[in-house]
Structure 1
């Protein structure tokens, strides 16, 4: 009792403002404890306007994801002879199947039907059924009546007998039978032949723009120079500068140098060609066949 009385007495000894301060302090303590025990401090998720906007679009996003699962990429028609590693992978071919095709093509051979493609690559029937509708072969392959007989043999290791034609007698249709030569390239070959009257060497095919090394090799194995009766020749010792410039191999400056050389040295002989300034030495053998001395 005495201790309680001493507390009360000591409390009464404080001034009025001090007693009020003490009472407020205890009141605050009691209020804080009450809040601690009775208020739920669980974190509440706050959703701002931007989050609300995205949540409103969630249904649309989910719909797009569903559509994306059902999306199938568009496959365009292609020539199976030129399938790359990446293209073959996308089509579902195994590494071994792609390698078989590339090894076959490395021999300068071509597949010309879905059946031959399967025979070379060993792809499964299911994969062939899925991708063969997109195969696109040149028109001349479709029109070749002997294709079906050749494919039925299923022997692609023995190439058929190649009939070598005269390049100077070849028609546009003859040229387009070479795999890789289409409408435009065949026209370029014929236009080049018209410039010279006739080709004198198959090396002149190297100057035809658009011929890949593979197609060039195939062209040279299918054609040869057998006749040059229509070859347009030019007399190098009598032709004027203007006449010389009309010759496909001679530009204006070279034509002038030829005239200067023969003016100073006399008539040009075949052995003098290499002495003329600017003369294309790498083509000297071909050019000489078009010249008269």
Structure 2
């Protein structure tokens, strides 16, 4: 009995140390660093960062600040010319206009113009502005007032059915009336060619009086219900108003987070300070 007991203890010790040795070696193999894979991963991250840094930074030349202009290579005089032009409530619609106003050199314009990003309405404005006065007069001499049109009358325009006519009326009602022909391009689902058909028969004649929204005193509900302000823009206005107090000038609207700058000239027609 003693012999078998000693034999059992001896075999148990051999088995214990064998398993312990196997586990240590096995665990060590699990934590071997894969240097090749790590190098590939680091290389991929570096390439991604380089590619991201090389992406062109597009910008609207109407909103070039002093610092931005200096970084782009504009002189103080060129920046001042741009700011004076914008203070007169005028907009730049093309690279050619930018050079005409700022008097930048051809070489600098060639460098900057590929980065210019104008809003969609600016491109449409260029097309409309390219028409001669005689063409505009001939197009408008017998046009009806879009603010007085009924759904039935709108459905007589090619491309407008019951759904679109109802959408135009609801858009007009929420605004209190159209103040610019350009707003028809803002109606959801109304394609450009249909808008052109509509403008061949209708225009804004200014017969409707708009109730202006006081941007400084309007309630949060009024701000949020204004059709041109989505939730982010409305919250940005309210936050700016809480922090800055009274909004004293139109230029301050450009500083508000998420403000729809591409429609700022239209929006200002519905606001008061």
Q: For the superposition of Structure 1 and Structure 2, which TM-score range results when normalised by the shorter chain? A: 0.3 to 0.5
Higher CA-based Rg: 1
Q: TM-score with structure 1 length normalisation?
A: 0.42
Higher helix proportion (structure 1 or 2): 2
- TM-score, structure 2 normalization: 0.45
